[in-house]
């Protein structure tokens, strides 16, 4: 798997694709280096295997945890909902039967699958990574080709460790210049989706490039790649570099000793060659970005915090206009309302987008010495039990709790509200998660997507604010 | 998987853009471990009022639409979550085909894997179908073999990936097919460097 000489210039995506070709061309049969599994999209896949009398081909390349539908209250209380309990018990049984590593509810490594993979060193540059979850794109932050699959494909990967894929198109998004002070990775990706639209990336794998990207930490890169799917893209990726290697060095599953040297050599050849071309290129001036907040019912319906709720009449495309009318009705917003005047009832800090230690640090910095506004229900759900333990060790949990935040156990929680963390109908939530779809956080619940610092500020102020005004 | 070739029937128009899979099958139904039985929950939050009663103006509650088997959707249909439950719900309700200007990538892949035919047509053609589909009795024919959609005076040809077409026409078990690549998979595995192993 060493780089071939005399090859035409290739992109990061093309190198990974070429190095994973088992058979065929388009569709190609690709080898899967890491298959992540969780409780919600796997039971029918394991049942299908059993029915056909098939085995898991590579349990050693498969990792399972529980995250989607589990409670975030004390683990000692167990799972109240009988159906969720059955689903979790089913995963436990299936992983035990097939010899798959399982981070269960009582495991200190349990957490959201897209937090757990990277923090334990499973996620590595150059990998093909799949999971029955659309936010698998998160792992692209390491220079991996990572994408979400459905349950039939989960079964296919369990049985064969491969997947048939039609070759996607490539898209470069160049972020020129550095990110301004007070503007975060979340604002960068929300700003991009606002420009390209929720269908802008369909059929493509995006490579995020440019000065603003190179300056980001791994946590921030994960936030960006995580939301690739919200722009419709098959996957998002960022070339591995020193930042990537430093993050991985010493993690439990990262290569060791001579293996580490060999890995670094291979990984160093992965970045896109200087003369390689993309099917589509977009350029965004990163220096012009400001904090963003969503106002509608898809992540493309997002705008700078400094602006106002849009008017349907501002949209010329009739389909888009209809969508805006529908969004404003669902969100109970009037055109022209300044975003900073929008009052919130709930604040949710967490998810595979923004539930990592750096996210909690940024939010804690805003919260420190302040109190959650009266009437606001503010909750922190760490992305994993390891993030939770680290945040407690750093004193972040104390900061949140003394400010009036509820401090929970790890899981997906209010991002999709499959557990009890449901936002009631008609109530408004400032959320660091990734989707503001109708009913996503609870039937009739109204979601505003924003960054951890912005969410923390909203919790304290009781309404949306431009966090830059506070620094 | 049941083979798909020719589908004749009636339509439901759903012209809204960017319908995500959270709408198609809301999360409260994803804790089930079964593979079937999702039809009653299709578009649940749109099909019911907050107390669970049927919403009179939604197609799933319209007696004139219960036999419909072709959904005429809007652009970027099935975006968002990877949940295959969305495709299962659409099939369980009774749809055999979804026609739209574009689809979410994962939704489209999931559809192929369970034999739900997704047909992409230009936005203007889909708009015509939305008009025709206002009449619950208007008939439609979708022929995968000849790649044609026919209703009334309209005949639209559509493109489809030849590999997808073959799988749908023959109802092929993809895992079984891939297992015939055993030699190639094993050879690939033997070349993976040792440092890629997890401990």
C-alpha distance from B148 to closest chain A C-alpha (Å): 23
Chain A positions touching B73 (Cβ under 8 A) are: none
C-alpha distance from B86 to closest chain A C-alpha (Å): 10
Is the model's pLDDT at A230 over the cut of 60? yes
Is the model's pLDDT at A3 over the cut of 60? no
Cβ–Cβ of A29/B184 closer than 8 Å?
Answer: yes
Out of A122, A151, A263, whose CB is closest to B84?
A: A151
DSSP 8-state symbol, B171:
T
d(CA B148, CA B185): 37
User: What is the number of residues in chain A?
Assistant: 471
C-alpha distance from A225 to closest chain B C-alpha (Å): 15
Q: Which domains does chain B have, with CATH numbers?
A: 6-171 (3.20.19.10)
d(CA B79, CA A143): 24
Summarize the confidence of residues A239-255 as an average pLDDT.
98
What pLDDT digit, counting tens, does each position of A46-58 carry?
Answer: 999 999 999 999 9
Is the model's pLDDT at A2 over the cut of 50? no
Closest CA to A267 of A172, A145, A143, A146: A143
* Per-residue model confidence (pLDDT) at position A336: 98
d(CA A44, CA A225): 28
What pLDDT digit, counting tens, does each position of A93-129 carry?
Answer: 999 999 999 999 999 999 999 999 999 999 999 999 9
Out of A23, A152, A439, whose CB is closest to B22?
A: A439
Is the model's pLDDT at A4 over the cut of 70? no
d(CA A385, CA A115): 10
What pLDDT digit, counting tens, does each position of B56-86 carry?
Answer: 889 999 999 999 999 999 999 999 999 999 9
d(CA A195, CA B103): 20
CA distances to B64, B94, B145, B166 from B3, rounded to whole Å, are: 28, 16, 12, 10
* Per-residue model confidence (pLDDT) at position A7: 80
Q: Which residues of B168-193 are buried (b: 16+ CB within 10 A; e: fewer)?
A: beeeeebbeebbebeebbeebeeeee
Chain A positions touching B74 (Cβ under 8 A) are: 319
d(CA B160, CA B158): 7
* Per-residue model confidence (pLDDT) at position A5: 60
Residue A100 CB neighbours (<10 A): 22
CB B38 within 8 A of CB B89: yes
CB B1 within 8 A of CB B56: no
Supply the angle between the helices A357-367 and A452-461 in degrees, to the nearest 10.
30
Summarize the confidence of residues A265-271 as an average pLDDT.
98
Closest CA to A333 of A191, A452, A447: A447
Mutate to test the interface with B, among A18, A86, A131, A437 (most CBs of B within 10 A): A437
How are the residues of chain B apportioned to helix, strand and coil, as percentages rounded to the nearest 5? 40, 20, 40
The pLDDT-based confidence of A198 (bands split at 50, 70, 90) is very high
Which parts of chain B have pLDDT scores under 70? none
The full DSSP string for B35-99 is SS--GGGTTHHHHB-TTSPBPTTSGGG-GGGTT--EEEE-TTBTBS---THHHHHHHHHT-SEEE
d(CA A389, CA A374): 28
> pTM score, two decimals?
0.97
Cβ–Cβ of A440/B195 closer than 8 Å?
Answer: no
Extract the tokens encoding B132: 């025709």
Sheet holding B117-120, edge to edge: B117-120, B97-100, B70-73, B6-14, B139-143, B148-151, B154-157
DSSP 8-state symbol, A395:
T
Provide the terminal-to-terminal Cα distance of chain A, rounded to the nearest Å. Answer: 49
Q: Which helix (H) or strand (E) holds A89?
A: helix A82-98
The pLDDT-based confidence of A442 (bands split at 50, 70, 90) is very high
Spell out the residues 6+ positions from residue A150 whose beta carbon is closer than 8 angstroms to its own.
A41, A132, B82, B83, B84, B87, B106, B109, B110, B113
What pLDDT digit, counting tens, does each position of A27-79 carry?
Answer: 999 999 999 999 999 999 999 999 999 999 999 999 999 999 999 999 999 99
Is B185 an 8 Å CB contact of chain A? yes
Cβ–Cβ of A199/B75 closer than 8 Å?
Answer: yes
Q: Which residues of B78-99 are buried (b: 16+ CB within 10 A; e: fewer)?
A: bbbbbbbbbbbbbbbbbbbbbb
C-alpha distance from A468 to closest chain B C-alpha (Å): 31
The phi and psi torsions of B156 (rounded to 5 degrees) equal: -115, 135
* Per-residue model confidence (pLDDT) at position A1: 44
């Amino acid at each position: 798997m060493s780089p071939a000489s005399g090859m035409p210039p290739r992109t990061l995506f093309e190198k990974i694709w070429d190095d994973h070709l088992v058979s065929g061309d388009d569709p190609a049969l690709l080898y899967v280096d890491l298959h992540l599994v969780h409780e919600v999209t796997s039971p029918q896949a394991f049942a299908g295997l059993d029915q056909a009398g098939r085995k898991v081909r590579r349990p050693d390349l498969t990792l399972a945890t529980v995250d989607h539908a589990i409670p975030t209250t004390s683990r000692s209380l167990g799972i109240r909902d009988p159906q969720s309990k059955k689903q979790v018990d089913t995963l436990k049984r299936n992983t035990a039967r097939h010899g798959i590593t399982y981070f269960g509810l009582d495991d200190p490594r349990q957490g959201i699958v897209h937090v757990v993979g990277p923090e334990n060193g499973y996620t590595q540059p150059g990998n093909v990574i799949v999971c029955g979850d659309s936010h698998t794109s998160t792992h692209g932050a390491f220079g991996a080709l990572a994408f979400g699959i459905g349950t039939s494909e989960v079964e296919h990967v369990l049985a064969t460790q491969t997947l048939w894929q039609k070759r996607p198109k490539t898209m470069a998004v160049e972020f020129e210049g550095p990110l301004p002070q007070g503007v975060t990775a979340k604002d960068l990706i929300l700003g991009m989706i606002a420009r390209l639209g929720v269908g802008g990336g369909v059929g493509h794998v995006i490579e995020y490039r440019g000065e603003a990207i190179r300056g980001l930490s791994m946590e921030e890169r994960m936030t960006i790649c995580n939301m690739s799917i919200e722009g419709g893209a098959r996957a998002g990726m960022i070339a591995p570099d020193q930042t990537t290697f430093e993050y991985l060095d010493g993690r439990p599953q990262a290569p060791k000793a001579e293996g580490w040297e060999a890995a670094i050599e291979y990984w160093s050849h992965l970045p896109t060659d200087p003369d390689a071309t993309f099917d589509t290129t977009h350029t965004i001036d990163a220096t012009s970005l400001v904090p963003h907040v969503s106002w509608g019912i898809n992540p493309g319906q997002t705008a700078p915090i400094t602006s106002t709720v849009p008017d349907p009449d501002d949209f010329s495309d009739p389909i888009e206009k209809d969508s805006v009318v529908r969004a404003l009705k669902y969100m109970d917003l009037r055109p022209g309302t300044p975003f900073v005047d929008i009052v919130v009832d709930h604040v949710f800090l967490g998810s595979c987008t923004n539930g990592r230690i750096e996210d909690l640090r940024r939010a804690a910095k805003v919260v420190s010495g302040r109190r959650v506004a009266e009437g606001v229900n503010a909750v922190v759900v760490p992305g994993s039990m390891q993030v939770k333990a680290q945040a407690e060790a750093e004193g972040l949990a104390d900061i949140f709790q003394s400010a009036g935040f509820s401090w929970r156990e790890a899981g997906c929680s209010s991002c999709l509200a499959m557990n009890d963390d449901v936002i009631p109908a008609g109530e408004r939530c400032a959320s660091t998660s990734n989707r503001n779809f109708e009913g996503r956080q609870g039937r009739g619940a109204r979601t505003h997507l924003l960054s951890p610092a912005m969410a923390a500020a909203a919790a304290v102020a009781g309404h949306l604010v431009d966090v830059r005004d506070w620094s | 998987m049941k083979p798909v070739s020719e589908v004749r029937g009636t339509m439901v128009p759903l012209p809204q853009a960017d319908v995500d899979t959270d709408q198609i099958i809301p999360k409260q139904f994803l804790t089930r471990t079964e593979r079937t039985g999702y039809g009653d929950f299709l578009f649940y939050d749109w099909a019911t009022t907050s107390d669970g009663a049927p919403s009179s103006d939604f197609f799933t509650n319209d007696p004139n639409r219960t036999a419909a088997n072709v959904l005429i959707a809007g652009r970027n249909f099935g975006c968002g979550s990877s949940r295959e439950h969305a495709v299962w719900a659409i099939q369980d309700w009774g749809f055999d085909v979804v026609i739209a200007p574009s689809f979410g990538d994962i939704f489209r892949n999931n559809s192929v894997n369970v034999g739900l035919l997704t047909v992409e047509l230009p936005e203007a053609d889909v708009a015509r179908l939305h008009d025709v589909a206002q009449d619950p009795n208007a008939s439609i024919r979708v022929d995968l073999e000849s790649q044609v959609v026919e209703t009334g005076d309209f005949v639209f040809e559509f493109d489809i990936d030849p590999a997808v077409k073959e799988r749908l026409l023959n109802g092929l078990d993809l895992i079984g097919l891939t297992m015939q690549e055993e030699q190639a998979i094993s050879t690939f595995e033997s070349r993976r460097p040792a440092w890629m192993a997890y401990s």
